[in-house]
Structure 1
Amino acid sequence: MRMWMCFALVSLLGCKEAEVGGPKAISKELGTPGATGSAPVAAGEVTLLLNDTIVAKVTAKDLVAWPRLDSLFPANARRMGTWQALYVKGAGEKVTEINKPGDTHREQVLAVFLDKQGAPAFGIFDPVELAKRGEPQARVDALREIRLRMDVEGGRGQNDHGSAASEDPTKLKIAIKTPKGEQILTGEKLLGLPRETVPDGDAKGWKLTALLAAMDVTTFEKLVLTDAAGLNLTIEKKDFDDKTVVPFVKLNKQGSLRFKIYTKKAEGWISTGDLRALTTIEILK
């Protein structure tokens, strides 16, 4: 009798699904990471779990745009500062563990994409390489499951900006205004420019002068830079030399351009003049 009652109870705990404009939203409790009790996965389907609950299943049609991993999770789980660990399962039972991905991959983008055979894969990308559909720095092929362990109680990571909406970097448009008129530096042209290493780290980007030179602007005395929020910053050519004082632009995880001025101090660098989404460069004289 007890066995029959247990069977009836399991039968009642079904899996409820609802379409939410993309991946199928699902709620179902599972066991521990890598456990043999993981939910069965159809060919080409990737199961996403938040702690021990299935929150979505994605297929190839959901991955055509190579989405950022955080965008596939519910809105309240997209701040990477709250992510404790990821468990990524490809072929077989091997599980790749990534601890505190918001810290260990602060300059990279975690994304799910389609390989050359059209099968789901997980990758850790440089932002420009992701925009160009290039090669990831690390990958897991034959992707079947990603489990996110998240701090749902503490306040750590709540100010993280990783959940901001993602833009397509190829569609960026930077207005270059000169006394002779306005030019547009497109995202496609920008992504094709050679990059240099950020003065204070391993990330890559462009010196501001390289962006201007790409638009044949090589002579100027004063610039005004403006971001998407309307904040602006005035800098003069005499105030930087591109060696010890370097105005620098890099593509961030959200697909917008981050501007900073790096100044050499003793053995290190300090950064000032932070603009989060550069949109306009105006040459005053």
Structure 2
Amino acid sequence: MCPSPRLSFVLLPVILLGCGTKKQRDEVAVGSASGAPAMTADASTAVTTDTVEIFVDAVSVGKVTRAQLDGWPRVDTLVPVEARRLGTWMNVKLIGRAPTATDLAKPSASHPDKVPVLFPGEGGAPSFGMFDPVELAKKGQPAVREDGVREVRISLSTSERGGDHQGGAGEGADPMKIIVKIKTPSGDKELTGEKILSLPREPQPGNEETKGWRVTQFLDAVGVTKYQSLVLIDAGGTTLPLDKKELDPATANPFIKLNKQGHLRFRMFTKQRDGWQPGADLRQLVTIQVK
């Protein structure tokens, strides 16, 4: 009987591996079906494969097939539930066609608004990327990319296994299905996720890497140009009233970004001397009332 791994596995949408020794798990057959010898897979082995094997703390948890790559799966959805919080990932080692492995140390800290994804690269070969959620929804370009990946080896923190850590815990909602209701005195309007993702973005105050929209862009997108005040409402019913004076672009930035969970997060930034001070926060904006 095989020893039980330290992680309790769940049924994953990948090809689960059978038991065996570590040497057997780390070997990739590069010969023919007639019995050619196998070659040990390491960072310098030039092996071409259509699958990507995923490891958590040196334990293989499955393989992602070529067909599954076409769905651009997030890597944090392909591991056991207890390993899905990106904030507990201390290192991600990428092994592939490069002569040496690539290490991403604390990816959630070094790329706080990005998510890890496997996707088909050049010629359909497996690639790994850290994607902005908007770029992922549009199947665009990653901020960090490694082509020809054969293995993704995740090392977890030994001290941060529970609680609410930085980063998400698995796949988020589909941004294309977002609908923001905009209620005006002349009638209700809707702004779809597809339209939102097509709007130009700007950097978040104080963070050039994080990009999003001003709330006024949402109003412009549905033809609302006149208002005296707004009330923003999140999915939990929390309301945030904003007077027109509070929306002066010279002193305020009512900023909205698409977060890792696939929701629209609102954050108010106000000008303070040479910087910007974060203020009111809504985690899932769903409605804007115009008055």
Q: TM-score, normalised by structure 2?
A: 0.84
Aligned to 2:244: 237
Contact 2:88–2:165 (CA under 8 A) maintained in structure 1: no
Q: How does 1:84-233 map to 2 (within 5 A)?
A: 84-154=90-160, 158-163=164-169, 165-202=171-208, 203-233=210-240
User: 2:32 aligned with 1:25, yes or no?
Assistant: no
- SS class of match (1:117): helix
User: 2:258 aligned with 1:251, yes or no?
Assistant: yes
Aligned to 2:35: none
What do residues 148-191 of structure 1 show as CA deviations (whole Å, max 9, x unaligned)?
Answer: 00024445874334115411112211111111111111111111
Q: State the distance in 1 between where 2:93 and 2:114 align.
A: 17
1:58 to 1:15, Cα distance in 2 relative to 1, 3 A: farther
Q: Unmatched 5+ residue regions in structure 1?
A: 1-11
Name whichever of 127-136 and 152-161 sits farther off: 152-161
Q: State the distance in 2 between where 1:124 and 1:21 align.
A: 21
Q: CA deviation at 1:83?
A: 0.9
1:243 to 1:53, Cα distance in 2 relative to 1, 3 A: same
Q: State the distance in 1 between where 2:170 and 2:287 align.
A: 21
Aligned to 2:32: none
Return the letter of the residue paired with 1:62. Q
Q: CA deviation at 1:45?
A: 0.8
Q: State the distance in 1 between where 2:266 and 2:165 align.
A: 20
Q: State the distance in 2 between where 1:120 and 1:15 align.
A: 30
Q: Unmatched 5+ residue regions in structure 2?
A: 28-38
What do residues 217-266 of structure 1 show as CA deviations (whole Å, max 9, x unaligned)?
Answer: 11111111111222221111122212221111111122111101001112
Aligned to 2:269: 262
- SS class of match (1:61): helix
Return the letter of the residue paired with 2:129. G
Name whichever of 107-116 and 256-265 sits farther off: 107-116
Contact 2:108–2:114 (CA under 8 A) maintained in structure 1: no
- Which residue of 40, 54, 57 corresponds with 1:51? 57
- Which residue of 66, 89, 92 corresponds with 1:83? 89
Number of positions where the alignment pairs a residue of Structure 1 with one of Structure 2: 270
Q: State the distance in 2 between where 1:92 and 1:137 align.
A: 19
Return the letter of the residue paired with 1:184. E
Contact 2:76–2:171 (CA under 8 A) maintained in structure 1: no
1:264 to 1:42, Cα distance in 2 relative to 1, 3 A: same
Name whichever of 19-28 and 221-230 sits farther off: 19-28
Return the letter of the residue paired with 2:184. T
Q: State the distance in 2 between where 1:111 and 1:28 align.
A: 28
Q: CA deviation at 1:107?
A: 1.6
1:75 to 1:175, Cα distance in 2 relative to 1, 3 A: same
Q: TM-score, normalised by structure 1?
A: 0.85
Root-mean-square deviation over aligned CA pairs:
2.8
1:75 to 1:226, Cα distance in 2 relative to 1, 3 A: same
- SS class of match (2:233): strand
Q: State the distance in 2 between where 1:94 and 1:153 align.
A: 29
Overall identity of the aligned pairs, in %: 40
